[in-house]
Amino acid sequence: MTVSKFSSLGIKPAILKAIQNLGYEAPTPIQAMCIPVLLSGKNLLGTAQTGTGKTAAFALPMLSQLDDKQKTPQILVLTPTRELAIQVAEAFQSYARNIRGFHVLPIYGGADISVQLRGLKRNTQVVVGTPGRILDHLRRRSLNLRQIKTLVLDEADEMLRMGFIDDVEKILSQTPIDCQRALFSATMPARIRNIADTYIGDAQHVSITAKTETVEQIKQSYLILKSHQKLDALTRILEVELFDGMLIFVRTKSSTLEIAEKLEARGYTSAALNGDLSQSVRERTVKKLKQGLLDIVVATDVAARGLDVNRISHVINYDVPYDNESYVHRIGRTGRAGREGSAIILVTQKETRLLRSIEKSTRQKILPFKLPSNSEVSDLRIQQITKQLVNTSRSLELKKFRALVDSISVQNGMDAAEIAAILLYEGQKDRPIFPTKIDFDLKQKDPSVTKKSKQQNKSTSASVASRPIDSSKSQHPSKQKLTKNQPKKKPLATSRVSSDIQMLTYRIEIGHNDGITAANIVGAIASEADIASRYIGQVKLQKTFSTVQLPIGMPRQLLTHLRKVKIRQKELKISLLN
């Protein structure tokens, strides 16, 4: 069934207006097939996975049939997890934004039940919940299902896998016989089929091919790195990838704002998209992205649901989704209308198992992404700065500024070239012209050999942390033991640092009294900052603090990360030594 517009499906005008404002343009296959069935009042049995648009497939027709006069719950949606319950409830709220007095209540374990009890007393039309907590309310008689008109079982096979299916049957037995029922499941094991036969009865069956087969036109790649390296890695990706519009997915609402602000500071037109923003702000953001007034949107999964913008050429998974179908749903935002798209996923070593799971689910190999080298980044940034300077020189009157430079030069004994160099240095702090020598290009191993690499990394880290560093040796000695007669030397360590690397001295708030050694400090910094030990200079221990030499140009976010790194349960709190 091919339907090009939601308006042809018979959805209530207020609902139709809401989804149009959300950016929904054309129904997905499951929406085109399910909406007419549910609007007709028939029962439905749907085989569909997450990411196919099934929430809208059942929410839109059910909202279109709400009874304004009924004061008790009319729609009950059962979900296997609290996360899905929240997502479905938020979707209902978004679709019903033009319905006056509408209330939806998510009910799940682990939340304050008194809040849920109050919510059930305020004429809630839609209840979305997990089986255990729904049963709890039924026992308390705080939830009345006698007038439920529509019941949805979402991800029924997942409820079976998690052991909730007995609770589901108890709930089903307390719903009216004549209420409309819809069951959605990615698979149809025998137990789910029996429940469908018993409680769904005569139903129309809708089956949608798994979306994992629709991502073949999308070029997928991954980059393994440390979590504090993500922003710098993202910046480099933006510099080398030719993109039109870009979606960056993160896990938390706060991350959308933080990353969008940092990208704005780096000169990119970007904005956040999350559930805490007002609907009008979200609508303006989507509109700007469509019109080309925005190039980058940083979003959460829920906020990006229904987003359909053809100019999105790249999707960056800044945070790995825990759900494989969420990954498919995310990258499906690119490669629209037959166009090629690119999807890049940033993965930490601990998340490589998720990467393997995604490959298995999509049945596609995800290839390593090659970041440009430091010298290539320098060349690109120098070209950009040169172009900017040349363009500015042609368009502005600079006489007053030339006079100011001459004045500063005479008064301080500095020539113009030195002043220009200082201004360039000050202006490039967020995007260094000469990036730090931290190696982003970690060996991008095949995910299938991650376990082996983890073991190798573990043994390497252990040897780095445990070996003593002796400044009198040209190379690091093997692990040594002090004899009883051998006097303890004052801990002092230097790494074999090339003389052409300029260093700065930093103070850390941990010392002799904390029972640490110089090797502990070198091992922690080498591991957490992913810096080879040869780039870590002299380490001096005092009673209550220590000093360590590190290369000039350490990224600000890396130093922020190192401040919170702990040795023997005490934070380093690293700071530049004056």
Over residues 255-290, the pLDDT tens digits come to 899 999 999 888 889 999 987 888 788 888 988 998
Domain ranges of the chain: 6-209, 212-368, 466-576
Query: How many Å separate Cα 340 from the centre of its chain?
Result: 23
Residue 488: is its pLDDT beyond 60? no
pLDDT digits (tens, 9 = 90+) for 120-163: 888 899 999 999 999 999 999 999 898 999 999 998 888 887 88
Q: How many residues does this entry show for the chain?
A: 578
Confirm whether 212-368 and 466-576 share one CATH topology.
Answer: no
Within 404-515, strands assigned E span: 492-493, 503-508
Residue 229: is its pLDDT beyond 80? yes
Residue 466: is its pLDDT beyond 80? no
Within 233-291, strands assigned E span: 245-249, 270-273
Superfamily of domain 6-209: P-loop containing nucleotide triphosphate hydrolases (3.40.50.300)
Task: Provide the β-strand partners of residue 302.
Answer: none
At residue 481 the predicted structure's pLDDT band, cuts being 50, 70 and 90, is: very low
Question: Under CATH, to which class is 466-576 assigned?
Answer: alpha beta
Options 3.40.50.300, 3.30.70.1070, 3.10.450.50, 3.40.50.620; CATH for 212-368 is: 3.40.50.300
Query: Which of 152, 192, 193 lies closest to 57 in space, CA to CA?
Result: 152
Spatial contact of 132 and 109, defined as CB atoms under 8 Å apart: yes
Query: Which of 89, 87, 135 lies closest to 109 in space, CA to CA?
Result: 135
Question: Model-level pTM greater than 0.75?
Answer: no
pLDDT digits (tens, 9 = 90+) for 516-546: 888 778 877 876 766 766 778 888 888 889 9
pLDDT score for 76: 96
| Distant-in-sequence, close-in-space partners of 167: CB < 8 Å, separation ≥ 6 | 131, 132, 134, 135
CA distance 101 to 97: 9
Give per-residue burial for 120-130: e unless 16+ CB within 10 Å, then b: beeebbbbbbb
CA distance 39 to 564: 56
pLDDT score for 476: 35
Name the helix (H) or strand (E) containing 203.
strand 203-207
Residue identified by tokens 């360039």 is 424
pLDDT score for 95: 92
